[in-house]
Amino acid sequence: MTPEERRTAEILRTIARDERIKEAVRTSPLLYPLLLTAAKRYVTGETRADAIKIAQRLEKMGYHLSMEHIGENTLDSQIVHEAQREFLALTADCSQLHTPVGISFDLSHLGLLLDKGLAFSHVEELAERARHSGHYLMISMEESTKTEAIISMYERLAQRHENVGITIQAHLHRSLDDVKRVLRLPGKIRLVKGAFKEPQEIALGRSVELNERYLELADMCVRAGRECSLATHDQAIVDELDGRDYLHRPNVEVELLYGVRPELAHALREKGVPVRLYLTYGTEWYLYLCHRLAEHPPHVHQAIADMFDTARLQDVGYGMS
């Protein structure tokens, strides 16, 4: 990134967490529909039906899928229970698909910040439902202040449910030790760089050093024979993983966010690499949009164009119309 792009990314990550701006967007009859249009490049829609419709089309094209009802940091018990019911319904609706789906979620969406016991019981119920339908759960990673609580809960869950996986953020300095911890357990590991703004004493910034850290952690997971999802849009990392002959190993897949680098997804699929696309839906899309734009600030121009020319969204690059 250029210095200007880094500054833009920093601003986007800051406003993503500004509740005043989020509320202003949510209640504005002008801003809400405009920004929702921009978000639809990365979010399948606001309803489960929107997500399932796109999922069915992508599955027919040969992609594997992860799906998430967006939400996090929920402090209202009613909303937590509503989220649980939505995830149960999503798990049931995934029976319309023919390959195993990764049901992804933030633990803070299911009650982690209210009652850890409640969150644990919610995930246990989801794990059982998913097991019966042939799907699996993938716990997402959140800000570093929650990392220990998330890893600890995963350790408890994975001892009881083999279809529960965990996400590791390579940028955190602690992640080398965290990978060693989770490699003792049976679930899938999803490796990401990390999207959250963190202080330098806790995490690496985007850099060559971070790429090297990501490859080191990927090497640990792949060589351990663990089922792993290498989630990255970074061409340099993808090329290095390919050069190490990791992408055709039976325990490895590449995971990409819906709407981000669809041309890479297509190219990898054409080469016979298993590609999983991460589909999101729901009304809590504001933070998600900010993070996608922060990862590649030039996409701000694309977002503005999308707002005023919705025809641009009819085909996000997967051959869909």
Q: CA 106, CA 71: separation in Å to the nearest integer?
A: 7
Nearest Cα residue to 276 out of 103, 102, 104: 102
Query: Rounded to the nearest 10 degrees, what angle do helices 262-270 and 235-243 cross at?
Result: 10
Residue 193 marked as a ligand binder: yes
Beta carbons within 10 angstroms of residue 78's beta carbon: 8
- How many other C-beta atoms can be found within 10 angstroms of the C-beta atom of residue 30? 8
How many whole angstroms separate alpha carbon 238 and alpha carbon 226? 19
Is 78 annotated as a binding-site member?
no
Q: Is 158 annotated as a binding residue?
A: no
Is 96 annotated as a binding-site member? no
Note whether 166 and 182 are within 8 A (CB).
Answer: yes
Whether 235 has a binding-site annotation, put simply, is no
232 among annotated binding-site residues:
yes
DSSP 258-305: TTS-HHHHHHHHHTT--EEEEEEESS--HHHHHHHHHHSTTHHHHHHH
Whether residue 195 is annotated as binding a ligand: the answer is yes
Q: Binding site: residue ranges?
A: 141, 169, 193-195, 232-233
Q: Binding site for FAD: residue ranges?
A: 141, 169, 193-195, 232-233
